């Protein structure tokens, strides 16, 4: 049975803690769930925490980029945190850059970063 990935709301941010093994259906459900909640409420930031993920393949990589781009259209910033070294190396090898997201080391840094990003008037290219 496909597991549901929990989404937590803290002030104006949605925080997603990925589970250790994400099947495609759970990932797609997450995507639609997130975008729905952004649409519904007053959300200005999304933080995707990948700390527990020991693998990110092209499907998940694209999904993350899609979430970031869809969010950006609604003026929401997306930050990814906790990418493991082995996962980072694999992503780079695959040529996946997780476009549209800004990476941070951990959730704490990620929230700080979201605040920084929201302050700037223009899109920050870091």
Partner 1 sequence: MRRQEILQNIQIENNMDLVKARQAVRIIALDLDYGIVNQTKLVTAVSELTRNVLMYAGKGEITIELIETDTKKGLRITVTDKGPGIPDVDLAITDGFSTGKGLGKGLSGTKKLMDDFSIQTEVGKGTEVVIIKWMDSNK
Partner 2 sequence: MENVLSSIHDILFVISFDHEILFANEQASINFETDLIGKTCYEVLLNKDQPCEICAIAEFNAKDVSRFRFEKEIFLPSVNRECYFDVGSVMIEEFKGVKAIVEVLRDVTTHRKQEREIELLLSSLKDILFVISFDHEILFANDEAVKNFETDLIGKTCYKVLLKKDQPCEICAIVEFKSKGVCDFRFEKEIILPSVKRKCYFDVGSAIIEEYKGVKAIVEVLRDITERKMQERTILQLSTPIIKIWDNILAVPLIGILDSKRATLVTETLLEAIVKTGSKIAIIDVTGITVIDTQVANHLIKTLSAVRLLGAKSIVTGIRPEIAQTLVDLGVSLGDIVSSSQLSGGLNYAFKMLGYTISNKE
Q: Which residues bind partner 2 (CB under 8 A)?
A: 80-81, 83-86, 88-89, 91-93, 97-98, 103-106, 109-110, 113
How far apart (Å, rounded) are the C-alpha atoms in residues 66 and 36? 14
| 3-state SS assignment for residue 104 | strand
Q: Where in 71-90 is the site for partner 1 (CB under 8 A)?
A: 84-87, 89-90
Residue 96 found at the interface with partner 1 (CB under 8 A): yes
Q: Which does 105 bind (CB under 5 to 8 A by kind): partner 2, partner 1, none?
A: partner 2
DSSP 8-state assignment for residue 5:
P
Among residues 4, 39, 62, 69, the one that binds partner 1 under rule CB under 8 A: 62
Among residues 11, 24, 41, 112, the one that binds partner 1 under rule CB under 8 A: 24
Q: Where in 38-57 is the site for partner 1 (CB under 8 A)?
A: 54-57
Cα–Cα nearest to 78, from 41, 97, 104: 104
Nearer to partner 1, 56 or 64 (CB): 56
Cα–Cα nearest to 118, from 67, 79, 81, 88: 79
| 3-state SS assignment for residue 65 | helix
């Amino acid at each position: 049975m496909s597991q549901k990935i929990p989404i937590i709301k803290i002030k104006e941010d949605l925080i997603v803690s990925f589970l250790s093994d994400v099947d495609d259906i759970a990932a797609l459900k997450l995507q639609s769930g997130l975008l729905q909640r952004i649409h519904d409420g007053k959300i200005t930031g999304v933080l995707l925490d990948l700390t527990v993920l020991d693998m990110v393949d092209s499907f998940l990589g694209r999904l993350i980029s899609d979430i970031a781009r869809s969010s950006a259209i609604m003026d929401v910033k997306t930050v990814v945190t906790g990418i493991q070294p082995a996962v980072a190396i694999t992503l780079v090898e695959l040529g996946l850059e997780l476009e549209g997201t800004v990476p941070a080391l951990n959730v704490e840094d990620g929230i700080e970063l979201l605040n920084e990003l929201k302050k700037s008037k223009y899109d920050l290219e870091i």
